[in-house]
Amino acid sequence: MPLYEKYIRRVEPYVPGEQPNFPDMIKLNTNENPYPPSPEVQKAIDSCSLSSLRLYPDPTSHKLNKAIANRYGLKESQVFTGVGSDDVIAMCFLTFFNSDKPLLFPDITYAFYPVWAEMLRIPYTLIPLNDDFEIVPEDYCRENGGIIFPNPNAPTGALLPLECIESIIKSNPDSIIMVDEAYIDFGGQSAVSLIEKYDNLIVVQTFSKSRALAGMRIGYAMGNEKLIKALNDVKYSFNSYTMNRQVIEAGAAAVRDEEYFQSIVNKIISTRERAKKEFTALGFKFKDSMSNFLFVTHPEWKAKDLFEALKEKHIFVRYLRGKRTDNYLRITIGTDEEMDTLFEFLRNYKG
């Protein structure tokens, strides 16, 4: 083996959801929004002249950060933006989790957390969900170098009430607590309301789900000014120009169009609640979800077989291997028409 290979960083990478490309497909595997973004986004993109692209974008993302701050009643200095919430969370791992004590996160959760921890050589401990796939706040009352969890959790969709989140923060005053709220707009109360009360809290959200901008890659963190400054210091030491001109304009426009945002979120919630009834009637079991997906299992059907059968019909869902999740599928909520096609298939499926 050449000597240089000794110094190559080797990691087990995160495997993103499949991105198929069939004209007739129903894509319910990566929790994307089934509706287009606000029409104001197109106007914002069109407002960026070709000649302006010869110039670097604003490294502070002022226009976007200001729009986010206004929407949540924060100061601009309390907002940090990046290339999707993955970029933002990775920057948080790099900035905040530098203790010899273990980072804590659930054993069934967003699969990128252990990848970042391994890549950055951060010690971590998996905290098991209970038998109902729920986070138990008391389990996080132990020595740690930080805590991160999604709310609602992914892939289970289970929501942790705000008072339970606050109990975790109260129990860990010397640790950074990160709440990953990729799906919070589909149900539940955001922990943003706790930012002024606790200076060790970081809340992360994304434009990929509820704002229908997965293709533009916009994520953001909110917290006290000292934490956000620390994030920016690391960002500027790593890559100053993370958000391009069109993304900044489009993101700001999307945040300002609150009426459109609420309309598509409400459509998805309505379809989700109908889908719960349909899945129940078909014999599926699942934890009540406050996200834009359901994590389902069927007592008579193997999840892998159903996943493959759906795939043959160009209906794509997510099969997540794991000791506790091997017979579950995560199914994104699509349009009513897409869900009707899925349910028609399931009514005729023999297993």
- State mean pLDDT over 235-263: 96
pLDDT at residue 304 in the model: 97
> Which pLDDT value is given to residue 226?
98
Query: Against a cut of 0.85, is the pTM above it?
Result: yes
Query: Region 217-227: what's the mean pLDDT?
Result: 98
3-12, 59-68, 271-280, range with the lowest pLDDT = 3-12
Give the Cα-Cα-Cα angle 29, 32, 34 (nearest 5 degrees).
105
Q: Per-residue confidence at 265, pLDDT binned at 50, 70, 90? A: very high
| Average of per-residue pLDDT across 196-203 | 98
One-letter amino acid of 16: P
Residue 215 has pLDDT above 90, yes or no: yes
Tell me 24's DSSP state: T
What pLDDT is stored for residue 12 in this prediction?
Answer: 87
State both tokens at 159: 């929501």
Categorize the per-residue pLDDT at 351 as very low, low, confident or very high, splitting at 50, 70 and 90.
confident
Mean of pLDDT values over 46-70: 96
Distance CA 17, CA 61 (A): 29
Instruction: Beginning with the edge strand found earlier in the chain, give each strand of the sheet holding 79-82 in spatial order.
Output: 79-82, 219-223, 201-206, 177-180, 147-150, 103-106, 124-127
pLDDT of the residue at 195 = 97
Residue 341 burial class via C-beta count within 10 angstroms: exposed 0-12, middle 13-18, buried 19 and up: middle
- Three-state DSSP class for residue 42: helix
- Is the confidence at residue 14, as pLDDT, over 90? no
pLDDT in tens, 154-194: 999 999 999 999 999 999 999 999 999 999 999 999 999 99
pLDDT band at 16 (very low <50, low <70, confident <90, very high): confident
